[in-house]
Chain A
Amino acid sequence: MRIRFKYFLKNNKYILNLFLVILILFVFSVPQIFAADITLPEYEYQEFKLDNGLKIMVFPDHEVPLLRLSIYYNVGSIDEPEGKTGISHFLEHTMFLGTEAVPNGKIDELISSVGGQLNAATTFDYTYYYHEVPSSMLELVMALEADRMTNLKFDAQEIAREKEVIKQERRLRTENNIFNRGFEEIKAEAFENSPLEHNVIGWMEDIESITSKDLDSYYNKYYAPNNALLVLSGDVRAENVKVLAEKYFSDIEKNDFQKNTFKFPDQKEEIVHKVYLDTQIPYSLIFYKIPKGSDKDIVGLEIFLDILANQQSARIKEKLQKEEELIIASGAFLYQLRVPSFALVYFIPSEEKLVDDAQKVYEEVMADLFENGISREEFEIVKKQYQKSIIFSQKNIDQIANAAALNELRFGDPELQKKKISILNNLSEEDIIEIAEKYFREEKRTRGYILPKNEEGGNK
C-alpha cells in the first residue's frame, strides 16, 4: 500500500499541488471553530428545606449590597379549573391587595421606602414574585412573603376593582396585539381539551366570572410552603436566611394535594386554522407537541430549532427570506414546562399572496433537513454561541439563580442544566435529526395563519 501511495505522489504532482492549494485555502479561509466540549462553571449555592416542605436556595454574590428574594409557587395556568381560566394570574394581582398587617398598597410603600423594587409574573406552570432590596432588608422581605403566603385578604370591593385592571391588561396585551391575538386563537385549536388550550391571562368571560371566593380557595390550595420555592441571590448569607426562614415560615402549614398531570389527546392528522384580523402582513404559526422540559430529547430539539429558525444563518432565513424573498422575519420558541409542552415555529410572509408559497418552501426545508441532516459547521456554530451565552450569564447571579430555581421547581433537579450540557456534548448531528423527526411531524402539528380580513392592504 505504501509503495503504491509513493508511486501515486510521484506521478500525480498536479493533483498533489491542487490538493495542497485546497488544503491551504481551507486552513486559512475557514476559521477554526471546531468547538471543544461546552463547560458550565461551578456555582456555589446552598439548598435546604423546612419541615413543612418549603425549599430554599441561596446564591451568594457580595459584589453590590443588594439582594433579590424570589418566591416561586408551583401553580400556573395549566392548573386552572374549567371556566376559571386566568385565576392564577388573577391571584397574582390579588397578592398585592394586602393582609391585615400590610393593607392594600402598603407593600409597594414599604419596599419603595427602603429603596427597593418588586413585581410578579404568572406563566403556564408557575407564579413568581420578587423583591430587589438593599441587603440589610432581608428580614423585611422574608416577613412580607411569609405574611402573604398565609394571611392574604380577599376584599370583594378591592377584587372587583382589580378585575377591571386585569381586563384592561388583557385588552392591552392580547386583544389589541395582532400576533398575540392570533397566537391565542390558534393555540386554543392546537391544544383543545388540554390545560394548554387557554393563555395565562385567561378568557375574558372567565375573568369576569372569577369571585373572591374562587380566589380564596385557589390560594388555600396552592399557596402552601410545600408548593413553593424561596430563592435568595446577591448579598446574602445562607446562615441568616436559615434563621429567618425558621422564624417566619416554619409555622405555616403544608397542604398536600394531587398535582394535575395530563397527556395531549391523540392527534391523527394535521390541524389547520385561519384567523382573519385587521392586518397588512400575514403570519404563519406552526405548533408542535413536545415532551416536558426535563426530557432528554429537549436539548436536541433546541439545537434543531436554532438551526432551523433562530440563528442568523438559520435554514428558514436563508431559504425563505434571502433566497426566495417570501418572508420578512422568522423564529422559533421552545416552551419547557413541567408537563407535556410545545414548540412554535413562525414566519411572516411579506404578502398574503405568498403565504402558500412560503409554506411550500418551509416543507421543502424540513424535508431537506430530515433527508440530508445538519452540517458539522451549523452544529458547532450553535455550540459556540451556547458557550458564549453561558459565559455572559456569569455576570448576573440572579439569572443563574433563576435558571437553577426553575429546574428545581419544575423537575426537582437544580443540576438539570449540567445534565443537559452533558447530553449536548454527546449529541451527534445524526442524533439531532433523529430527535427532530420524532416530534416535528406533519400529522401531529397545527398550522395556523393570521390573515388580513380587509383588502385595503398598504393603501391605508
Chain B
Amino acid sequence: MIKSKFKVLIIIIILLITLSTVTAAEFSPELFSELADSVNEIPHIDNPDFSKLKLDNGMIIYLVEDEELPLVELRAYIEGGISQEKKEQSGISSLMTELMSLGTRNYNEKEMLRYKELNALSFSINSNYDNYRISGNALSTEKEELIKLTAEILKNPEFNRDYFARTVNENIQYYKQQFYRDDGLLDMHFFKNIYGEHPYGYQYNYNLVLDFLDNVSPVDLDRFYEQNINPDQLVMSLSGDFDIEEMKDMLVDYFSDWENDNSEASFDYVNVNQQNHGKVLLVNKEDATQAKIRIGYNFYSDKFPKKVAFLMGNRIFGSGSFNSRLMENLRSEKGYVYSINSQVEYHKYGGVYYVNLSVDPANSYKSIEAVRKEMNSIKSGREPFTEKELFENVNLYNAIFPKAYKENIDIIDKIAYEMEIRDNSDQYINRFIEQYNGLEAEEVQKIFADELYPEIIMSVIVGPGDKIAEVLKENNVDYEKIN
C-alpha cells in the first residue's frame, strides 16, 4: 500500500516537472543561442565485410552481402573516358556509351529493351573525364539477369545497327541546340579555353563534336571500344541480397571469357595557356535577359596534396550554404544574385577552379568585381577565415557523413575506387574525416589564399551583348565580343 502511494507521488512529481517545461515559450536571441549548441561527434565509418574477386583477365570485383532489402546494386569504373579521345574524335566516348546501352551483338534494340523492362533492370553507362561510370540495380530475384545484362553490354557491343544513324542524328540536334542555351554557350567558351588542346576541352567545342558526328562510322566506334573498354581496366562493386560464393561463380561464368585487347592509354597533362589570364569574353545572346557568368582559372590535377584544406576553404568562400562569403555578399547584402557558387574540379591530367553566377546584365561588372574583392580580402589576409567559419563546415561534415555512407553500396564503391584506381587504403573515408577534423583556420586560410589568383581569372559572360558591352566600356574593361 505504502509502495503504491509512493509510486503515485513519484508520478505526480514527474508530471509536474514535465508540465513546468511545457510553459509557453518566450522567443529571444538568448534562447536560440542556448539551444544551438551541438558539437557533433567525429564519425567513424565502419567498412562492411567485403570480399574481393580478381578474374584472370584482370577484372576486379568487390562484393558485400546486404539482406536488408530484396535488392542488388552494382557500380563500376572503367579507366579511360574522355581523356582518351583524339581531336578528330571529339564526343566519341559519350556516343559509344549511349550506343552500348541500346543493343549488342546478341540483342537488337527491341530485345534489349524488353529484357531490361520485363526484369525491371536499371543500367547506365556514362563517360567522364577519366573513366566510364556504370551503375545498375535489380530486385534480388533478378540478380543473374542484371549480371548477364552488364556482361552483354560490356563484352558484346554492336554499333552497326539501325539505331546508329538515329542516335547520331539525335546527338547532332542536341549539340546544335547548345548554341541557343546560355548554359551551353558558357560551358563551350569557358572550358574550351581553359583546356585548350586537351581532350577535356574537346567535348565543349561543339563545332568539333558536330564535325565528328557528321563523319563518324560504326567502325570508328568499334576501334575506340577495342582500345578503351577492357576487363583489366574495370573495377566493380556489388552489394545486396545475394550469396557471395554464388555471386562469385556467376561473375566467373559471365565475365571470365572477356579478353583484353592490347592497347596503350595516352597521358597528356593540360597545358595552361597564359593568354587566357585576365581575358574577358563577352558572348552575345541577344534574347537573354540576364548575364550568365563564369570566372576562373586552371587548377591542379587530382594529385594536389592539399585538397582537404582547400575544400574547407572553398566551402567558407563560396561552395557552402547560404552563409558562404559569396552568398552573404552578393545575395544577402547586395541582392545581385539568386545563387552563386565556387567550384573546384580535379581530374587526372589537370583541374579548374571557377565561380558561377547569373545577374541582371546591368550588374555584370559590379558582381565580377565583388567576387574579385572577396578573393582579394582573403588573399591579402584582410579578412582571414575564422575558427567559427571552419568549425561550422567541419561540424556539418561530421553530421552528414554517417548519412552519406549509410548504404553499403556507397561504402564499397568508395573503397573499390580508392584502393584500385587511386592506390589508397580501405580506410580512405576515415582518413579523410581525420584530416578535415585536424585542420585549423590559420592553415586553411594560408592554403586557400596561396591558391587564389584573382589577377589571372578569365571571365566568360553570356548575355545581351550591347547592354553588357556598355557596362564593360563604362568601366574600361577590355573584352572580346563573340557573336
Contacts and interface: CB of A to CB of B under 8 A. Distances in A.
Contacts of B109: 322
B79 to A, nearest CB: 29
Interface in A394-414: 394-395
B450 interface: no
Contacts of A33: 118-119
A101 B402 contact: no
B71 interface: yes
Contact of A460 (B40, B118, B119, B179): B179
B331 A64 contact: no
Contacts of A65: 41, 399, 402
Contacts of B69: 391-392, 394-395
B322 to A, nearest CB: 4
A166 B287 CA distance: 20
B332 A66 contact: no
Given A246-B22, A350-B170, A113 B36 contact: yes
Interface in B110-140: 113-120, 137, 139
B182 A105 contact: no
Contact of B25 (A167, A248, A312, A377): A248
A112 B323 contact: yes
B358 A168 contact: yes
Contacts of A178: 180-181
B319 interface: no
A329 B171 CA distance: 11
A385 B398 CA distance: 36
A242 to B, nearest CB: 9
A168 B334 CA distance: 12
Interface string B168-182: 011011101101111
Nearest to A313: B113
Interface stretch (B228-236, B262-270, B335-343, B441-449): B335-343
B25 A113 contact: no
Interface in A255-275: none
A312 B113 contact: yes
Interface in B380-422: 388, 391-392, 395-400, 402-403, 406-407
B118 A137 contact: no
Nearest to B171: A328
A247 B19 CA distance: 9
A175 B290 contact: yes
B47 interface: no
Interface stretch (B27-35, B88-96, B197-205, B452-460): B27-35
Contacts of B174: 328
B292 A176 contact: yes
Interface stretch (A1-9, A144-152, A205-213, A220-228): A144-152
Interface string A30-72: 1101000000000000000000000000000001111000000
Interface in B1-56: 18, 21-25, 27-29, 31-32, 35-38, 40-41
Contacts of A137: 35-36, 38
B173 A280 contact: yes
Interface of B: 18, 21-25, 27-29, 31-32, 35-38, 40-41, 69-71, 109, 113-120, 137, 139, 145, 163, 166, 169-170, 172-174, 176-177, 179-182, 210, 285-290, 292, 320-323, 328, 331-332, 334-339, 358-360, 388, 391-392, 395-400, 402-403, 406-407
Q: Which 8 residue pairs are nearest across A and B when measured between Cβ atoms?
A: A115-B395, A458-B176, A115-B399, A164-B335, A114-B38, A161-B335, A101-B27, A169-B338
Given A140-B35, A328-B170, 11 more contacts: A101-B32, A112-B320, A114-B40, A115-B392, A115-B396, A139-B35, A164-B360, A165-B337, A171-B290, A248-B25, A350-B173
